[in-house]
């Protein structure tokens, strides 16, 4: 494994810590408020469309994730990294050019993906998702990717600057608009005494993405024209593609595996003995109710993860491997502390939360069991971000592929025999393996870096 060693400049420790803490607090505040709204939204949906309806809605999640992976995810990450690099060089011209080059690429991909999804929604619903009732949801969903890519690229620009005010505001705008739109549509259908279609959930997503884009476009303030270096559009595009292509490929492959995993859960539950309605209901309770509760504390680690990538990239470019080691140590300590606290909380309150929030005892059972994954779940996401920041997206891909493969094995072979609880233990084992392998790899890298530096000093 190659060592982490770069030319000697220093990143200000106080500046690094201040920007990371401030940005994390802003994103965490927005994330907590968004999750709280999301809680009430999930409760509302569970009353309006029921567990089976949530199960059908959750079946479309792989398509959403795949669309974001293809159109925005890798490009957003690449923009963030190159913007932080250009800012470190005191070259705002380069930062701006990377934003607009990435935006052009993302818009092109989003338009193509949207057209394909719109045209083949019925085929995808039947052949891939295995439920024709997903077709109208996918048709509406296809309208969301163009606005989504715009605010994703702008957010990537601000993450590269380590400024999180605009991304936090767009996050809130998206959630407020989504919930308000779905509630308004529900009132309209109720007043007309008509059945509420599942597609209102997708119209909420589309309107939320549009609102978020309007906010990001109206709030963006580009860095002033300064610096002598203006990288060409072709070099910016080439650099973005070189980084975004493997990131996007990794995300697409992982999403395809994850899609297979999610689609097979209802299928294998039917082999266990459930009918189609009950299988979708259990799937909806697990993914749409219980997981939303267990993932709530991850709003903190997600905020840290978003900012760790450009911060670690800047420290790496400056050759400050001591700062990288300190950051790794603090990340492990903080995530494990948060995770163990969450585990204790969910073990004691899981049954209450399931019944109180969703009126569903099975949701409470799931929350209690899933509480055990918290230390590994929260740690894995932040360590993956550090690996990305150090320039090892391939390692992150392999780790996530191993983790997903473990879950798929549980879905295929354990769920038909032991039911849904075996899948919960599969999640626990997969997250533990992911976190432990990431720690071992990062520790090996830091030791190699230290030995390399010591040899150079001698």
Report residue 451's pLDDT band, with 50, 70 and 90 as the boundaries. Answer: low
Cα angle vertex 119, ends 113, 123, to 5°?
105
Helices 233-272 and 420-457 cross at an angle (nearest 10°) of 150
Backbone dihedral angles phi then psi of residue 122, each to the nearest 5 degrees: -65, -40
pLDDT of residue 227: 56
Question: Tokens 């189609």 map to which residue?
Answer: 276
Q: pLDDT tens digits for 116-146? A: 999 999 999 999 898 899 999 999 999 999 9
Contacts of 172 (CB under 8 A, 6+ apart): 30, 33, 34
pLDDT of residue 10: 43
311, two tokens? 């911060």
Q: pLDDT tens digits for 275-291? A: 988 998 999 999 888 99
DSSP state string for 279-309: HHHHHHIIIIIIHHHHTTTHHHHHHHHHHHH
Higher model confidence: residue 426 or residue 301?
A: 426
Is the pLDDT reported for residue 69 higher than 60?
A: yes
pLDDT of residue 251: 83
Contacts of 89 (CB under 8 A, 6+ apart): 227, 229
Alpha helices by DSSP H, 13-91: 13-48, 50-59, 61-68, 74-88
Is the pLDDT reported for residue 53 higher than 50?
A: yes
Is the pLDDT reported for residue 374 higher than 80?
A: yes
Is the pLDDT reported for residue 47 higher than 90?
A: no
Eight-class DSSP state of 120:
T
Is the pLDDT reported for residue 314 higher than 80?
A: no
Separation CA 345–CA 340 (nearest Å): 9
Q: Over pLDDT 70: what percentage of the chain?
A: 87
Average pLDDT of the chain?
Answer: 85
Q: pLDDT tens digits for 386-396? A: 887 787 877 88
Report residue 18's pLDDT band, with 50, 70 and 90 as the boundaries. Answer: low
Radius of gyration of the chain (CA): 22
Prediction pTM value: 0.75
Is the pLDDT reported for residue 306 higher than 70?
A: no
Q: How many CA atoms lie within 13 A of 4 on its CB side?
A: 28
Is the pLDDT reported for residue 456 higher than 80?
A: no
Q: pLDDT tens digits for 405-448? A: 999 999 999 999 999 999 999 999 999 999 999 999 988 887 76
Higher model confidence: residue 429 or residue 161?
A: 429
Higher model confidence: residue 251 or residue 223?
A: 251
pLDDT of residue 19: 55
Report residue 1's pLDDT band, with 50, 70 and 90 as the boundaries. Answer: very low
Is the pLDDT reported for residue 6 higher than 80?
A: no
The answer to whether the CB of 364 falls within 8 A of the CB of 355 is yes
Considering only the C-alpha atoms of the chain, give the largest distance between any 2 of them, rounded to a whole number of Å: 81
Report residue 110's pLDDT band, with 50, 70 and 90 as the boundaries. Answer: very high
pLDDT of residue 168: 87
The three-state secondary structure class of 353 is helix
Q: pLDDT tens digits for 319-362? A: 777 777 787 788 888 888 889 999 999 999 999 999 988 888 99
Higher model confidence: residue 31 or residue 114?
A: 114
Higher model confidence: residue 101 or residue 319?
A: 101
């Amino acid at each position: 494994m190659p060592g982490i060693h770069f030319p000697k400049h220093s990143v200000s420790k106080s500046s690094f810590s201040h920007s990371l803490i401030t940005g994390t607090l802003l994103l965490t505040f927005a994330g907590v408020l968004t999750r709280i709204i999301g809680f009430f939204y999930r409760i509302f949906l569970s009353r309006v469309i029921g567990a089976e309806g949530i199960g059908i809605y959750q079946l479309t999640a792989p398509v959403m994730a795949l669309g974001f992976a293809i159109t925005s995810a890798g490009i957003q990450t690449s923009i963030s990294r190159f913007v932080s690099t250009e800012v470190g060089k005191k070259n705002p011209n380069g930062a701006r050019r990377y934003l607009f080059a990435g935006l052009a690429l993302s818009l092109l991909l989003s338009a193509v993906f949207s057209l394909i999804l719109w045209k083949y929604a019925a085929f995808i619903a039947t052949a891939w998702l295995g439920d024709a009732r997903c077709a109208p949801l996918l048709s509406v969903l296809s309208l969301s990717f163009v606005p989504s890519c715009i605010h994703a690229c702008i957010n990537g620009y601000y993450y590269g600057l380590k400024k999180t005010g605009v991304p936090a505001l767009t996050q809130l705008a998206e959630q407020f608009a989504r919930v308000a739109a779905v509630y308004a549509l529900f009132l309209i259908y109720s007043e007309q005494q008509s059945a509420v279609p599942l597609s209102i959930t997708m119209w909420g997503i589309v309107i939320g993405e549009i609102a978020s884009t309007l906010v990001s476009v109206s709030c963006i303030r580009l860095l002033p024209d300064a610096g002598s270096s203006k990288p060409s559009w072709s070099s910016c595009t080439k650099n973005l593609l070189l980084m975004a292509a493997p990131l996007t490929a990794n995300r697409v492959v992982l999403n395809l595996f994850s899609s297979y995993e999610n689609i097979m859960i209802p299928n294998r539950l039917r082999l266990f003995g459930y009918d189609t309605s009950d299988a979708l209901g259990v799937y909806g309770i697990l993914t749409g109710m219980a997981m939303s509760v267990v993932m709530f504390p991850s709003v903190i680690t997600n905020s840290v993860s978003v900012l760790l990538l450009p911060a670690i990239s800047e420290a790496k470019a400056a050759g400050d491997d001591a700062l990288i080691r300190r950051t790794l140590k603090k990340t492990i300590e903080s995530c494990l502390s948060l995770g163990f606290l969450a585990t204790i909380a969910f073990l004691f309150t899981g049954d209450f939360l399931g019944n109180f929030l969703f009126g569903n005892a099975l949701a409470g059972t799931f929350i209690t069991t899933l509480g055990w994954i918290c230390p590994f779940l929260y740690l894995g996401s932040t360590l993956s971000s550090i690996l990305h920041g150090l320039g090892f997206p391939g390692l992150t891909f392999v780790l996530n592929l191993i983790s997903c493969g473990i879950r798929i094995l549980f879905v295929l072979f354990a769920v038909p025999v032991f039911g849904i609880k075996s899948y919960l233990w599969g999640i626990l084992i997969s997250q533990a393996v992911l976190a432990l392998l990431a720690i071992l790899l990062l520790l090996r890298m830091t030791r190699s870096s230290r030995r390399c530096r010591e040899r150079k000093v001698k």
